[in-house]
Amino acid sequence: MKVGLIGVGLMNGSLALDLKSAHPSVTIYGISRRASTLANAKELGLIDHQSTIDEMKDMDFVSIAIPVTATVDILPSVLNAIGPNTLVIDMGSTKTAICESVSEHPKREQFLACHPIAGTEFSGPEAAIRNLYQGKVNMLCETQKTRPDLLKRAHAIFTNLGMHMREIDPSEHDRNIAYVSHLSHITSFMLGKTVMEKEADEQNIFDMAGSGFSSTVRLAKSSPEMWMPIFRQNKHNVIETLDEYISNMEHFKSLLANDDYTTLVEEMKNINKIRHILKPENKTNGK
């Protein structure tokens, strides 16, 4: 199997590690804007060869995992370049704009829009880890537009990685993911900002911040190059989540300011129910 990776960071790098384990005969061709990134990916054993868009014509499977605005820019040219037997997927955290960018493309049926719900706060080839996708969900959009044999191939590859497939409409995906992913990245970034602005003496953070703070602020370590384009492309939905979140914050503040502790406790008890909705941590971590 010949696999082309456009972007060789956390997502495609981790994919490469698992593909190499599952298919010893796979050959992996990598593309990246930065020569140094490609060199790192090669040194880390993620890719076998540096490649070009033109060479994607010989691939069985091409995975695009780059900033979502760049995906929209490059996806039509990738489809132009591929041969008749190539499957192309993307792993972006937004789906509407990406699906729209090739909706009229003559090779639309060779593309499958994916969003594996997997990742860490780290980025780049060095961030690649084994089993990132094990036990995780892969959201698939507009599967009816993908050629059945290629859709079947995608299913086989992802199932082999240990993933569970779910189908979802692109706009529903973007609306929901704004709540369960994009918003939590912004709340983390703003928590980090608020604390850093207050604590001129960094040692105070170091001493007094416990595992709770580390957990809540973890996503503030995420790559701006990857995340700004996501917020930008999903701007309408993200702003809606921010409005609702800020309104909830203001409400909480007013309960506290007005000493309405009965309502405060009631609200917190209601929110506690998230215990039963969330997957257990160890399952979420794919262990």
Q: Is 72 in the site for a copy of itself (CB under 8 A)?
A: no
CB of 187 to a copy of itself, least distance (A): 5
CB of 203 to a copy of itself, least distance (A): 9
Q: Which of 51, 96, 146, 241 binds a copy of itself (CB under 8 A)?
A: 241
Q: Is 103 in the site for a copy of itself (CB under 8 A)?
A: no
Task: Identify residues 246-265 at the interface with a copy of itself (CB under 8 A).
Answer: 246, 248-250, 252-253, 256-257, 259, 261, 264-265
Q: Position of tokens 């969330």?
A: 278
Gap between the Cα atoms of 184 and 1, Å rounded? 38
For a copy of itself (CB under 8 A), the number of binding residues is: 94
Give Cα separations from 149 to 109, 111, 146 (angstroms).
Answer: 10, 12, 8
Q: Is 73 in the site for a copy of itself (CB under 8 A)?
A: no
Task: Identify residues 217-236 at the interface with a copy of itself (CB under 8 A).
Answer: 217-222, 224-225, 227-228, 231-232, 235
User: What residues contact 22, with CB distance under 8 A and at least 6 apart?
Assistant: 160, 161
Tokens (6 digits) for 79: 């489809």
User: Considering beta carbons, is residue 104 or 197 the nearer one to a copy of itself?
Assistant: 197
In this chain, which stretch among 33-41, 44-52, 144-152, 210-218 interacts with a copy of itself, using CB under 8 A? 210-218
Q: Is 275 in the site for a copy of itself (CB under 8 A)?
A: yes
User: Burial code of 177-214, b = ≥16 C-beta within 10 A, e = fewer?
Assistant: bbeebbbebbbbbeebeeeeeeeeeeeeeeeeeeeeee
Gap between the Cα atoms of 287 and 277, Å rounded? 19
Q: Is 284 in the site for a copy of itself (CB under 8 A)?
A: yes
Sign of CA dihedral 228, 230, 236, 241: negative
Task: Identify residues 124-163 at the interface with a copy of itself (CB under 8 A).
Answer: 136-137, 139
Q: Is 95 in the site for a copy of itself (CB under 8 A)?
A: no
Give phi and psi for 123, each to the nearest 5.
-145, 165
Pairing label, strands 164-167, 61-64: unpaired
Q: Is 33 in the site for a copy of itself (CB under 8 A)?
A: no
Task: Identify residues 158-187 at the interface with a copy of itself (CB under 8 A).
Answer: 166, 173, 176-177, 179-181, 183-187
Q: Is 198 in the site for a copy of itself (CB under 8 A)?
A: yes
